[in-house]
Amino acid sequence: MADLGPLTAEVTRNTEVDDSAVALLNGLSAKIVELKNDPVALQALADQLKGSSDKLAAAIVANTPAA
């Protein structure tokens, strides 16, 4: 019989990542609603997200082997 342990672990890991993404999006949505009448704070949030996205993109590029 095949060992399903690695597959089960991967499914668990994927579920945890999915749950984290959902929590992040829900929190982001709530923050946008909270800041909708404060353009300066909303822009600061957008700038923070852009900075995080840029760091993530750079890390992916730096750690992805060339094809």
Q: Is the dihedral of CA 37, 43, 49, 50 positive or negative?
A: positive
* Predicted confidence band of residue 67 (pLDDT cuts 50, 70, 90): confident
Would 12 be classed as within a structural domain? yes
Quote the number of domains for the chain. Answer: 1
Would 57 be classed as within a structural domain? yes
Nearest of 21, 19, 50, 46 to residue 35 by alpha carbon: 46
64 DSSP assignment: S
Per the structure, the complete domain to which residue 31 belongs is given by 5-62
Render pLDDT for 19-50 as a digit per residue (tens, 0 to 9).
Answer: 999 999 999 999 999 999 999 999 999 999 99
> Residue 36: CB partners within 8 Å, gap ≥ 6?
42
Render pLDDT for 56-65 as a digit per residue (tens, 0 to 9).
Answer: 899 999 989 8
Would 67 be classed as within a structural domain? no
Give CA–CA dist 27/36, Å, rounded.
Answer: 14
